[in-house]
């Protein structure tokens, strides 16, 4: 690991804090009022989508040359964090836009970048990512989805599971085996698939514990023909590209977890300062104060880990693999703990839908699971230490 002594890593710039203020204003005014209904109705947060497009927070990571705002990795994390503070489902819009399009940014041809990143930056579509399958979750190299070459085209067959914003997105980065007899992990290629491609369909929406406003569906490919220029990066280099992508985007899941935790802490603080028992505010009881102190301490530790990992992502540091996994793992574990404690602080009220904490608690759980379970993150960290 790096022994970087650049202490600017630990201080956000004035621009970053101005961005936070702007995103928080949009989130509280345009997103928070719909969060409960989005969850209860399990519907896509179109109000948040429209607000993020209007404010240029929809896909802030897209470089300026493709009509984006060119936000750095930390700025993108701040956008996701602040949206997640009020609605985790909505925060998946900028988060998954980065996940789906980052392979193009890292390895796509200039023609491919211009064709697909520009409409993304303009808010004309979301961009999803197709890696996992029913029997290839943590073990991504075991995927069965196939793409065979036929003249100057590729023919895609198979399925992908647990795809965020599936059906809403027009564009999908999809990983498929292109050489069944090739070396495991070195026989996968990335492609861009368009929603309108013949033979490409979707499964039913998953019925989930949380993030109910973000549709999760399977992708089905029935001999989908793709032109050769849809290949992202090198043929056979797809899995390496996919894992490199996750090194960067796990940081954004850490940011999402921090946002959920901050929202829960804010709600709990407001409640304990108003709620009275035994003749005084429950905030005046030392046992409550200790809980709040632990929640805030762990939240700030998680936030700093995420911000340092974001800085490493921006620079492309060699130890990003460790720090991305560590930030995602620690922040999501903290988010689960803080949201659980926040529900506890509200007592019976916290268990009802009259308050957003039960939703935040349900939403926090997925941050420990997607983009690699926290058990897998610990494997990633251990391998980095032992390498």
The reported pLDDT for the residue numbered 59 is 98
Give, for 223, the enclosing helix (H) or strand (E). strand 216-227
Residue-wise pLDDT tens digits, 347-367? 999 999 999 999 999 999 999
Is the pLDDT at 5 greater than 90? The verdict is no
Residue-wise pLDDT tens digits, 283-325? 999 999 999 999 999 999 999 999 999 999 999 999 999 999 9
Rounded Cα gap, residues 267 and 350, in angstroms: 10
SS3 label, residue 133 = strand
Catalytic residue among 81, 133, 298, 371: 371
Instruction: Tell me whether residue 371 is one of the annotated catalytic residues.
Output: yes
Is the pLDDT at 199 greater than 90? The verdict is yes
The whole-model pTM stands at: 0.96
Find out whether 295 and 341 touch, Cβ atoms under 8 Å.
Answer: yes
Q: Looking at the structure, give the CATH architecture of the domain made up of residues 128-236.
A: Beta Barrel (2.40)
Length of the chain as a residue count? 387
Find out whether 335 and 258 touch, Cβ atoms under 8 Å.
Answer: yes
Please state the domain extents for the chain.
7-126, 128-236, 239-386
Rounded Cα gap, residues 57 and 48, in angstroms: 10
**Cα-Cα-Cα-Cα dihedral sign, residues 328, 329, 334, 337:** positive
Q: How confident is the model at residue 117 (pLDDT cuts 50, 70, 90)?
A: very high
Smallest CA-to-CA distance from 249 within 94, 384, 386, 376 is with 94
The fourth-level CATH superfamily of domain 239-386 is Butyryl-CoA Dehydrogenase, subunit A, domain 3 (1.20.140.10)
User: What string of DSSP letters covers 27-48?
Assistant: IIIIIHHHHHHHHHHT---HHH
CATH code of the region 7-126: 1.10.540.10
């Amino acid at each position: 690991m790096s022994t970087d002594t650049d202490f600017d890593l630990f201080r956000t710039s004035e621009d970053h804090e101005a961005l936070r203020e702007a995103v928080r204003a949009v989130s509280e005014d345009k997103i928070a009022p719909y969060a409960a209904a989005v969850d209860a109705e399990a519907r896509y947060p179109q109000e948040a989508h429209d607000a993020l497009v209007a404010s240029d927070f929809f896909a802030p990571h897209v470089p300026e040359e493709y009509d984006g705002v060119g936000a750095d990795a930390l700025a993108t994390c701040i956008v996701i964090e602040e949206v997640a503070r009020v609605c985790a489902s909505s925060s998946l819009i900028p988060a998954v836009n980065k996940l789906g399009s980052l392979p193009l940014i890292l390895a796509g041809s200039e023609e491919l970048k211009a064709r697909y990143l520009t409409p993304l930056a303009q808010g004309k579509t979301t961009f999803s990512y197709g890696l996992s399958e029913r029997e290839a979750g943590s073990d991504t190299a075991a995927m069965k989805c196939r793409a065979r070459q036929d003249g100057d085209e590729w023919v895609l067959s198979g399925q992908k599971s647990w795809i965020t914003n599936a059906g809403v997105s027009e564009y999908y980065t999809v990983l498929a085996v292109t050489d069944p007899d090739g070396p495991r992990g070195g026989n996968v290629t990335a492609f861009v698939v368009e929603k309108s491609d013949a033979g490409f369909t979707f499964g039913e929406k998953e019925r989930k514990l949380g993030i109910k406003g973000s549709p999760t569906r399977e992708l089905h490919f029935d001999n989908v023909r793709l032109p050769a220029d849809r290949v992202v990066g090198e043929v056979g280099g797809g899995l390496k590209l996919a894992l490199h992508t996750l090194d960067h985007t796990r940081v954004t899941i850490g940011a999402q977890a921090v946002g959920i935790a901050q929202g829960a802490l804010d709600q709990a603080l407001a409640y304990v300062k108003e709620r009275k028992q035994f003749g005084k505010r429950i905030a005046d009881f030392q046992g409550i104060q200790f809980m709040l102190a632990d929640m805030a301490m762990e939240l700030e530790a998680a936030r700093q880990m995420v911000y340092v990992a974001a800085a490493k992502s921006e620079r492309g540091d060699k130890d990003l693999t460790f720090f991305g996994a560590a930030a995602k793992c620690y922040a999501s574990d903290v988010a689960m703990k803080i949201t659980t404690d926040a529900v506890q602080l509200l007592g019976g009220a916290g268990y009802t839908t009259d308050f957003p904490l039960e939703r935040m608690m349900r939403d926090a759980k997925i941050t420990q699971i997607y983009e690699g379970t926290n058990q897998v993150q610990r494997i990633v960290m251990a391998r980095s230490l032992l390498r």
